Structure 1
Amino acid sequence: MSGFKSLFKQTFIYGLATVLPRMLTFLLVPLYTQVMAVGVYGKVSIIFSWFAIFNVILAYGMETAFFRFFNKETDKEKVVNTSTLSIIFTSFSIFIIAFLFKYQIASLTDIKVEYISFVIWILLLDALVIIPFTWLRANEKPMKYAAIKIANVTINMSLNLFFLLWLSGLAKEVFFFQPIYKPNFEINYVLIANLIASGVTLILMFPFYNKLKFSFDKKLWKRMLRYAFPVLIAGLAYTIIETFNRILLDSSLSTAENPEREVGMFSACYKLALFMTLFATAFRLGIEPYFFSHAKSDNPQKNYAKILEYFVAFGSIILLVVVVFADVIKVLVIRDEAFWEAMWIVPIILIASFCLGMYHNLSVWYKITDRTKFGAYISVFGAIVTLALNFWLIPIIGYKGSAIATLAAYGSMVLLSYFYGRKYYPIPYNLKKIGLYLTISIVFSLLSFYKFRENYIVGMSLLIVFAFIMFILERKELKLLLKR
């Protein structure tokens, strides 16, 4: 139980580091949907989809490799130096190549060159803090990790508010601000805010670089790359599942008259699944170091099984609460009714995000047994599923098809990871309890939204029934945790 106390403490702090910044950015959704047309917001979403893809390429699995070798090697300083220098070299190399070919990239992605220039700089700055942030997590410095993460997004949000909400008024009254303000410049302002925030974050990480010794172990680097490469493939596949649907919705697949408008509606309503994503991400940040550090303890499988059980229990509550109150939340988050047309996707995306969180918990078996290639296989399978279903369904039902494809991809990844895990690293999951929580929460959620939408008497009743069932099943565990 003491191990779980440490886990929950880490998860809580990393949760703050994840939830608070994401909640600050969540507040940008009302701003964006208030000041931007649906199509403009769609273009912003497409740009950030490309961001996500290239962030994975620039990290190339080195973050996960760092964790594995930092806990495995006796010379930890060698791991830090080698992984950091590797990221520095590859980041600057890609930066130079991207700048030389930015016009070709702009043509290929259908994004203006001026936006591409901002994106290239932001990607470089973000890549240079990958290992410093990972080092903080590996050395159990969650408070510093949280403080820098929160500072990054606070600066980002403040600048977004300044540029998009206040600058136009200031430009009319104060001469100093007139050269800064440009009408119809929203996308540039969003990118400038990101660039400044990323630059400040790198400055805050300078103490890490001051301690860095420029020694590079080629043999260690090759071993780390072998471990990291499947993680890169898995990361790319995951990113395709999560973000490539925006790009496909904007492509010739879409039958909509204004594809960017469809992307804007889809992206705005997708944000309502953020509550599940935040929970799953915070949980993953907390458990990942725990998985590696406890891999050699006595019977770690028993603890891993209990962790998934906790995740499903809490996730089921979050799923049901968000679905029941989705139409209340949308008024607060998505200000323009023009975006609400895509609300149909909310329960589907929430369940998909829930499945992704379960997959991250189930993936412990291939990470600690150095079988990361299975993570790549499973993620690639998920990417194939989402691409196939997007190509099939987008021309028929538009963004609804993208939501269904996302759920099918993550659901299939959960099943594959579980069945392969049983073979290579059996973990005694309580399938009866997990299955019960999943079935009840999903059925109640679908009933509440698609059959009794905005009937809060029915929705609250379903929520209370589920909470009562969970209390009956978990009362012993709750008493133990409260006593500790």
Structure 2
Amino acid sequence: MSALQKLFKHTFIYGLATVLPRMLNFLLVPLHTDILPKEEYGEVSILYSWIAIFNVLLAYGMETAFFRFYNREPDKQKVVSTASISIVATTLLFLFLALPLREPLSALSNIETRYIVYTIWILALDALAIIPFARLRAAERPLTYTYIKMGNVAVNLGLNIFFLVILPRLADRTTNSLWNFLYVEDFEIAYIFISVMTASALTFLAVLPMYGKVKWHFDRELWKKMMRYAWPVLIAGLAYTVNEVFDRQLLDYLLPEDIAKGEVGAYSACYKIATFMTLYATAFRLGVEPFFFSHAKNRNAPETYALITQYFVIFGSCILLGVMVYIDFLKVLLIRNDSYWEALGVVPMIIFANLCLGIYHNLSVWYKITDKTRYGAYISVFGAVVTLALNFALIPVISYKGSAIATLAAYGSMMLLSYLLGQKHYPVPYNIKKIGAYLTVSVVFSLLSFYVFNSDILVGSGLLLVFLMLVFYLERKALKRIFLDRYRPGG
């Protein structure tokens, strides 16, 4: 099997682990938006944004460091044990500090104490699964990875449906039945986070046997090397998360109190439509990151990386145009409550921003394989500064539209900056003209479909067909070589 075929196979399987569970999770969007008013959905979104930020802090770049040293060190068990001990120790320390401080944290964040407690346990359980999942990816066991990830979402989805839909119907408020004991009125947000916490706990139990195979030996010198590699990844990850989710908190902070959470709710719900691009980019990154490291020493590695990025852009451009063409169908499928539709205008900017982010992740290969991860931190911090500056400037004027503009400006600038720096430190022969042409055509067609033809499905489908025919005509020979296993760059 060629290097690219193997990459596409793993990306497809990781895509199942990412896309199918998230597609199931999409069922939660109409469920939550049907049951929760915009204000309460906004509160849930703000809590999720805090979880995203602390997930990065509790991982502190150790996952990426694990991949780097797992592929480089001859004693792989030493890497596994050192990384595992590090994550377990910091997670226990987090629990020891955070649980006693739940009341002050509640007062500081203006979030109910019970939600703080749920969040603490979700964060700890997810952190303890980081190295086992990384080990599955490094050992090229994507099917096991997929089963566990899908199980997590199936449990979360099932419990949400039970608590929010089935239980209220089963509960008999006039008797002392079991359902009456379980059901609590106006407890919807708590039920949502109890579902997440239960799914995280079962996921941890699923990966727990992997800890039994760890040789519990801590190599201090190796850990220092891993941390030197990991800290810029932490900074970059934190900055990325600020770009991704901190706008919800800024909207809540900068907008008038009587409309803030409702605006956050509408923005967050419509943001979900752009998740199709995020799912694609995430699945691709999960498959390509180990590939980048394992093929770094190949003579034709730069050419291979260039081709991978080109096809990422091609497929991403198809997704961009496809979502914009069928957005009227998707909005009804995902958000049946039309009070949320007021924020649909941000979707084109958000989905293109996420395509830029996916391109950035592909371009970031240069600083990862050259051990110059500090540049990743610099670039991400630059993006975070752009995000914060534009959000503070625009939110008071145009609300969540300012957040969408800030997201696009941040990810677009990060993509361009990474390309320029990468060509200096690790030149890769990207076909800029072809990549730029695909992006330009897909963006122009998307804008025409959404803004000029008002999402007319017939016109949009015609534009999408023209674009697909263009891609097939220009790429037919290369695609045939890849999928028929006759093209083996770097082999």
TM-score range, shorter chain: over 0.9
Question: What's 1:249 paired with?
Answer: 251
Asked if structure 2 preserves the Cα contact closer than 8 Å seen for 1:255 and 1:398, the reply is no
Distance 1:104 1:407 in 2: 36
1:410 aligns with 2:411: yes
2:261 maps to 1:260:
yes
The answer on 1:187 being equivalent to 2:180 is no
Partner residue of 2:150? 150
| Counterpart residue number, 2:489 | none
Distance 1:420 1:109 in 2: 39
The residue correspondences of 1:375-390 to structure 2 (distance < 5 A) are 375-390=376-391
Deviation at 1:454, TM superposition (A): 2.7
Name 1:24's counterpart in structure 2. 24
CA contact (8 A) 2:293 2:369 kept: yes
State the distance in 1 between where 2:309 and 2:480 align.
19
**Secondary structure of residue in 1 paired with 2:181:** coil
Q: Measure the CA separation in 2 of the matches of 1:481 and 1:291.
A: 18
Counterpart-to-counterpart distance in 1, 2:103 and 2:389: 30
Of 186-195 and 464-473, deviating more is 464-473
Structure 1 residues 324-370: Cα deviation after superposition (integer angstroms, max 9, x where no partner): 11111100110101100000001110000100100000000000000
Give the letter aligned to residue 185 of structure 2.
Answer: P
Alpha-carbon deviation of 1:256? Answer: 6.8
Alpha carbons 1:256, 1:262 under 8 Å: kept: no
- Aligned with 2:171: secondary structure? helix
Per-residue deviation, residues 35-84 of structure 1 (Å, max 9, x unmatched): 11111111000000000000000000000000000001001000000000
Q: Distance in 2 between matches of 1:356 and 1:400?
A: 19
Deviation at 1:255, TM superposition (A): 4.0
The letter of the residue matching 1:279 is Y
Partner in structure 2 of residue 11 of structure 1: 11
Given that 1:237 and 1:380 are in contact with CA atoms closer than 8 Å, whether structure 2 keeps it comes out as: yes
Matched residues in 1 for 2:242 and 2:334: separation? Answer: 26
Alignment deviations for residues 3-55 of structure 1 (CA, whole Å, 9 cap, x no partner): 01110111010000001111111110010011111111110000000000000
State the match for 2:488 in structure 1: none
Q: Partners in 2 of 1:85 and 1:62 — Cα distance?
A: 11
Mean Cα deviation higher: 328-337 or 167-176: 167-176
Is the Cα–Cα contact under 8 Å of residues 59 and 87 in structure 1 kept in the other structure? Answer: yes
Number of residue-to-residue matches in the alignment: 483
Instruction: Map 1:317-396 to 2 at 5 A.
Output: 317-396=318-397
2: CA distance, partners of 1:387 / 1:410: 13
The aligned residue for residue 57 of structure 1 is: 57
Superposition pairs for residues 79-94 of structure 1, below 5 Å? 79-94=79-94
- Contact 1:250–1:259 (CA under 8 A) maintained in structure 2: yes
Partner deviation per Cα, 1:167-226 (whole Å, 9 max, x = no partner): 001112981111110111011001110111111111111210111122100000011000
Taking structure 2 as the reference length, what is the TM-score of the superposition? 0.97
Equivalent residue, structure 1, for 2:272: 271
Partner of 2:473: 472
In structure 2, the partner of 1:141 is 141
The amino acid of 2:297's aligned partner reads K
**Distance in 1 separating the partners of 2:261 and 2:10:** 40
Alignment pair present for 1:161 and 2:157 = no
Structure 2 residue ranges without an equivalent (≥5):
486-491
Code of the residue aligned with 2:172 in structure 1: it is: K
Percentage of pairs with the same residue: 59
Q: What TM-score do you get using the length of structure 1 for normalisation?
A: 0.98
**Structure 2 partner of 1:430:** 431
Alpha-carbon distance between aligned partners in 2 of 1:405 and 1:369, rounded to the nearest angstrom: 30
Following the alignment from structure 1 to structure 2, what is the Cα–Cα distance between the partners of residues 106 and 387? Answer: 24
Q: Name the structure 2 match of 1:129.
A: 129
Say whether residues 1:206 and 2:208 are aligned partners: yes
Q: Distance in 2 between matches of 1:118 and 1:471?
A: 49
Partner of 2:102: 102
Range with bigger deviation, 461-470 or 307-316: 461-470
Distance, in Å, in 2 between the alignment partners of 1:380 and 1:103 is 31
Q: Which residue of 1 aligns with 2:222?
A: 220
> Equivalent residue of 1:250, what SS?
helix
Instruction: Give the letter for the 2:220 counterpart.
Output: K
Secondary structure, counterpart of 1:172 in structure 2: coil
SS class of match (1:413): helix
Query: In the alignment, is residue 230 of structure 1 matched against residue 249 of structure 2?
Result: no
The equivalences for 1:443-462 within 5 A come to 443-462=444-463
For residues 239 and 227 of structure 1, what CA distance do their matches in structure 2 show? 19
Q: Match of 1:338, SS?
A: helix
CA RMSD of aligned residues (A): 1.1
Instruction: Judge conservation of contact 2:353–2:411 (CA < 8 Å) in 1.
Output: yes
> Does the 8 Å CA contact 2:324/2:455 hold for their aligned counterparts?
no
Once structures 1 and 2 are overlaid, which stretch shifts more, 455-464 or 429-438? 455-464
Residue by residue over 1:395-431, the C-alpha shift from the partner in whole angstroms, topping out at 9 and shown as x without a partner, is 0000000000000000000000000000000000000
Would the aligned equivalents of 2:5 and 2:483 in 1 still touch at CA under 8 Å?
no
Q: Give the conservation status (yes or no) of the 8 Å contact 2:58–2:91.
A: yes
Task: Provide the C-alpha distance between the structure 2 equivalents of 1:353 and 1:59, rounded to a whole number of angstroms.
Answer: 22
Contact 2:24 2:153 (C-alpha < 8 Å) held by counterparts: yes
| 1:54–1:123 CA contact under 8 A, matched in 2 | yes
Preserved CA contact (<8 Å) 1:279 1:315:
yes
8 Å contact from structure 2 (residues 4, 482) kept in 1: no
Match for 1:286: what amino acid? G
Quick one: which amino acid aligns to residue 46 of structure 1? I
Match of 2:308 in 1: 307
Following superposition, which runs of at least 4 residues in structure 1 exceed 4 angstroms of deviation? none
> Distance in 2 between the 1:385 and 1:463 partners?
33
**What amino acid maps onto 2:123 in structure 1?**
L
How far off its partner does 1:457 sit? 2.5
Give the 3-state SS of the residue equivalent to 2:172 in structure 1: helix
